[in-house]
C-alpha cells in the first residue's frame, strides 16, 4: 500500500512538473487594474510561408489575471512570436519568441515607457541582454534626430554615423562573446550589407539551430538583392562619370504650358533636379541649389523636374518654395525614371555643354555641390 501511495505521489509530482512546460507566467505592473490580458501570437512558420496578408493567422488569447499574474499556454503548433497587448495605447508592446515546450517568465515593469524582462530561455535572455546594450544607443540616436529635424549638414550626418557605428560594434561584440547563442540570427539582422553577410556566413552550427534563423534567412535574400542593385548602380555611376553617355532627352510642360526640351540648352552646363513637394529631403536641398544657381549665373541652367504628384500639388510647391529656375512637370510618367536610372529622391544630374551625362547623385548629398564646382571650373 505504501509503495502504491509513493508511486501515486511521484505521478502527481511529474504531472505538476509537466504542467509547467509550455506555460508562460506574465507578471504585470503593480498599477495594472484589468481583470484580463490579451496576448496575440503567430507561428514563425506561418510568418514566412504566407505569400499575402490574408494567409497570416494571428491568434488572440484572453487570459485571466489573478494576483497580478496571467498564465499563457504556448501554441503546440510550433515556435511562435507572442505580443502582449497593452491596456492603453502605447508606442511599443512587449514581445517574445518561444517554442511549445518552454517555460518562461515575463516580468513587465511598465507598459509606457516599455520596460520588461524575459527569463527561462537562452534565446530570450540573449535578446534581452542585447537590447540592454543597444537600446540606449538607439534612444540617443532618436533624440539627436528629433532635435535636428531641419538640419542636413555634414556634421549631423557624421554624428548619426557615429551612433550607427556604435550599434554595429555592440552587435559584433555580442556575437563574439556569445557565438552559439540562439539570439545570434536575430541580432545580426541589425547589421547591413556586407557586414550582415559576413556574420551570417560565419554563424556557428549551434546558432543556426535557433528558431529565429528564418528571420536571418529572409534578410539574407534582401541583402543579396540590395548588394546586386548597389553593384549595378556603381557600374552605372562609373559609366556616367566617364562622360561618354548622351543625356536622355525629354520634352515636358512648364507652368505656363510651354514645352521645354533638354536639347534647348545644348552648349551650357545643366543640372536636372528630380523632386516632389512630398519629399522632405528634396525640399531641404533647395537652399544649397539656390546658392549654386545664383553663384554660376548664366553659365548654369537648372531644370526642376517634378515627379509623383498631381499638377495642382506641383504648382502649389513652386509657389511655396519660390523656385527661381526652369520648372517642368513629369507627374507619374516612369519613362524618365528608367532613362536616368532614378532609384530615389531627390536625384540630381549634371550634363556638360556637349550634352553628356557626367554626374548622377541620389539623395541629398552635400558632395554633389563640390563636384558641380569642380565641373564649373
* pLDDT tens profile 123-154: 999 999 999 999 999 888 888 888 876 655 66
**Per-residue model confidence (pLDDT) at position 150:** 62
Q: Could you read off the pLDDT of 45-97 as tens digits, one per residue?
A: 999 999 999 999 999 999 999 999 999 999 999 999 999 999 888 888 999 99
What mean pLDDT comes out for the span 296-305?
95
Q: Is the pLDDT of residue 10 over 60?
A: no
Q: What is the average per-residue pLDDT within 330-356?
A: 90
What's the grid cell of residue 117?
Answer: 524582462
Residue 304's pLDDT is 97
Overall average pLDDT of the 185-200 stretch: 94
Residue 112: pLDDT over 70: yes
**Using CA atoms, how far apart are residues 302 and 324, in angstroms rounded to an integer?**
9
pLDDT over 90, % of the chain: 72
pLDDT of residue 142: 86
pLDDT of 5 higher than 60:
no
Domains of the chain plus CATH, in order, are 18-116 (2.60.40), 126-237 (no CATH), 243-376 (3.40.30.10)
Q: Is the pLDDT of residue 326 over 90?
A: yes
pLDDT at 324: 96
Residue 11 is predicted with a pLDDT of 40
pLDDT digits (tens, 9 = 90+) for 306-323: 999 999 999 999 999 999
Residue-wise DSSP of 237-300 = HHHHHTT-EEPPP-EEE-TTS-EEEGGGGTTSEEEEEEE-TT-HHHHHTHHHHHHHHHHHGGGE
| Average pLDDT over the chain, rounded to an integer | 90
Phi, psi of 296 (to 5 degrees): -90, -10
pLDDT score recorded for residue 19 = 55
Average pLDDT estimate for 219-246:
84
- How far is the C-alpha of 351 from the C-alpha of 266, rounded, in Å? 9
**Is 80 exceeded by the pLDDT of residue 233?**
no
Q: What pLDDT score does 153 carry?
A: 61
Mean local confidence (pLDDT), 290-308: 95
| CA 122 to chain centroid | 27
Please check the confidence at residue 6 and state whether its pLDDT lies above 60. Answer: no
Confidence at residue 110, expressed as pLDDT on a 0 to 100 scale: 94
The answer to whether residues 130 and 137 touch, using CB atoms and an 8 Å cutoff, is: no
Amino acid at each position: 500500500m505504501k509503495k502504491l501511495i509513493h508511486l501515486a505521489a511521484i505521478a502527481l509530482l511529474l504531472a505538476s512538473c509537466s504542467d509547467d512546460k509550455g506555460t508562460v507566467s506574465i507578471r504585470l505592473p503593480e498599477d495594472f487594474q484589468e481583470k484580463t490580458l490579451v496576448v496575440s501570437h503567430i507561428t514563425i512558420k506561418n510568418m514566412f510561408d504566407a505569400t499575402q496578408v490574408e494567409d497570416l493567422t494571428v491568434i488572440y488569447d484572453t487570459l485571466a489575471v489573478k494576483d497580478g499574474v496571467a498564465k499563457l499556454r504556448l501554441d503546440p503548433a510550433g515556435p511562435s512570436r507572442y505580443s502582449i497587448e497593452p491596456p492603453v495605447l502605447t508606442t511599443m508592446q512587449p514581445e517574445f519568441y518561444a517554442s511549445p515546450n518552454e517555460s518562461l517568465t515575463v516580468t513587465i515593469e511598465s507598459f509606457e515607457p516599455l520596460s520588461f524582462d524575459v527569463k527561462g530561455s537562452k534565446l530570450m535572455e540573449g535578446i534581452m541582454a542585447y537590447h540592454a546594450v543597444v537600446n540606449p544607443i538607439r534612444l540617443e540616436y532618436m533624440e539627436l534626430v528629433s532635435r535636428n529635424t531641419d538640419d542636413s549638414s555634414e556634421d549631423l550626418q557624421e554624428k548619426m554615423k557615429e551612433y550607427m557605428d556604435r550599434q554595429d560594434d555592440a552587435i559584433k561584440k555580442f556575437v563574439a562573446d556569445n557565438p552559439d547563442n540562439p539570439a545570434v540570427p536575430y541580432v545580426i539582422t541589425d547589421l547591413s550589407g556586407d557586414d550582415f553577410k559576413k556574420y551570417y556566413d560565419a554563424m556557428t552550427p549551434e546558432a543556426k539551430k535557433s528558431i529565429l534563423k528564418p528571420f536571418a534567412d529572409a534578410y539574407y535574400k534582401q541583402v543579396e538583392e540590395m548588394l546586386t542593385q548597389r553593384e549595378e548602380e556603381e557600374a552605372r555611376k562609373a559609366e556616367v562619370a566617364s562622360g561618354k553617355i548622351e543625356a536622355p532627352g525629354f520634352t515636358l510642360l512648364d507652368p505656363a504650358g510651354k514645352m521645354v526640351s533638354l536639347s534647348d540648352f545644348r552648349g551650357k552646363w545643366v543640372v536636372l533636379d528630380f523632386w516632389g513637394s512630398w519629399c522632405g529631403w528634396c525640399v531641404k536641398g533647395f537652399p544649397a541649389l539656390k546658392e549654386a544657381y545664383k553663384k554660376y549665373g548664366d553659365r548654369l541652367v537648372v531644370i526642376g523636374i517634378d515627379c509623383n504628384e498631381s499638377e495642382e500639388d506641383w504648382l502649389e510647391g513652386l509657389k511655396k518654395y519660390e523656385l527661381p529656375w526652369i520648372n517642368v512637370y513629369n507627374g507619374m510618367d516612369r519613362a524618365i525614371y528608367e532613362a536616368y536610372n532614378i532609384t530615389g529622391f531627390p536625384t540630381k544630374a549634371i550634363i556638360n555643354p556637349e550634352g553628356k551625362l557626367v554626374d548622377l547623385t541620389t539623395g541629398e548629398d552635400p558632395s554633389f555641390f563640390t563636384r558641380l564646382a569642380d565641373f564649373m571650373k
